[in-house]
A = this chain, B = another copy of it.
Amino acid sequence: MIKAETIKEVRDQVRAWRKEGLTIGLVPTMGYLHEGHASLVDKAVSQCDRVIVSDFVNPTQFGPTEDLSTYPRDFERDCRLLEEHGASLVFHPSVEEMYGEDAATYVEILNDMPKRLCGQTRPIHFRGVCTVVSKLFNIATPDKAFFGMKDAQQLSIIKKMVRDMSYGIEIVGCPIIREDDGLAKSSRNTYLSDDERQAALVLSKAVKLGKEMAENGEKDAAKILDAQRALIEKEPLAKIDYVSAADFDTLEPATEVKEGTLFAMAVYIGKTRLIDNFLF
């Protein structure tokens, strides 16, 4: 596996692969990789000749009060996981390499999509995501890019950005990977104390409850959301940020449960903000 720290190294390698007629998959990550990321790499390896994984904690998607400085990092461990799963190249740039001294250009969706759900408490988050993902697209020029459904709003927004910006890149969404007890895999799970780790199960339990109600024919989204909220509120360590239903493509609030309805939540467990969801 090639380890690249500069944009130029990635570009040169991509050019060489393109000369051989090889297809390229991109898996953008912020590192501290877990089985969720590994499943994205596996899917990319199964569909593309070469797989580039970016491993970069992107500062422009963190708000001033968020966990940029404490976000967990372990590049050596990441490399071992990526090598095991058959990645061809890991791109691990510095902030300086990605943004230089005076970067000022942003890619932004100027409708309500980035303001809904997580956007209510993270107002600049999706602007940062769209900007860094665009840059990674421009550097790696992949045929396909792979994103996890755990960040459902991110996936919806990236798909919208790709349509609007006419990128010739197929966006592949991949299922949420969970621990044995149901907790959705997340690099931020490492923040949880033992008590919080136990309390955090309330998210996946609420997802499971909502999913069962929807599969059993409940058509009123509010009833599902009420039941999910009631379950979460029983957990003393949990504080709801939002529990919402939205159309997956537009992120408009949904009242009726139908194909494409996303049930998403963000819940603080102690100081750690966790997200989970299901797509009907």
Contact = CB atoms under 8 A, between A and B. Distances in A.
Interface string A215-255: 00000000000000000000000000000000000000000
Given A165-B134, A168-B138, A106 B110 contact: yes
Interface string A102-140: 111111111101000000000000000011001100110
- Total copies of this chain within the assembly: 2
Nearest to A15: B168
Interface residues of A, number: 34
Interface in A1-28: 7, 11, 18-19, 21
Interface stretch (A33-41, A79-87, A156-164, A267-275): A156-164
A61 interface: no
A153 interface: no
Contact of A110 (B104, B164, B165): B104
A141 interface: yes
B109 A108 contact: no
